[in-house]
Amino acid sequence: MPTFGHGKDAQFWVTDSGGTERELTSYLKSATMPRSVDTAEASTFGDDDKVYVAGLRDATLSMEGNSDATVDGYLTGLLGGTPRAWAFCPRGSATNNVKYSGSAILTSYEPDADLGDVVGFSAEFQVSGAITRTVL
């Protein structure tokens, strides 16, 4: 029987520009990790249907959250820098939950302010290299 988890338990960490692991969990309202695979068409004369072969995997990390001077400092310091270690536990870090980790470059950081809402931010990381999936 499936065991489902609630998104409120998700956790996310990233290593800052000084090499310190920073937990962003208490700032985040959403986090996603879209993954894809490039495909190349390999069809030839005589084929009635297109044929494809799998290519390179790709992934990004997207997040939105509430902002303060601390998280703004962390993310501003990472923007456009070298790949940094990260870890994402979509269901939290309890035993038997899944943890994804790897390295990524912060490619987009957008602080925002709205008259009717808390000051927030959105950020996107480009994953560089393989993603490791472990069960805690």
Locate 2 and state its tokens: 């499936």
Q: Where are the domains of the chain?
A: 7-135
Cα pseudo-dihedral 21, 129, 122, 31, rounded to 10: -80
Which residue, 131, 74, 77, 122, is CA-closest to 104? 131
- CA geometry: angle 48, 53, 56, nearest 5 deg: 155
Amino acid at 85: A
Quick one: pLDDT at residue 16? Answer: 84
The parts of the chain modelled with pLDDT lower than 50 are: none
Q: How far apart are CA 87 and CA 100, in angstroms?
A: 6
Question: How confident is the model over 23-62, as pLDDT tens digits?
Answer: 999 999 999 999 999 999 999 999 999 999 999 999 999 9
Q: Which numeric CATH code is attached to 7-135?
A: 2.30.110.20
Quick one: pLDDT at residue 19? Answer: 87
Q: How far apart are CA 123 and CA 133, in angstroms?
A: 22
Quick one: pLDDT at residue 3? Answer: 82
Instruction: Name residue 86's beta-bridge partners.
Output: 14, 102
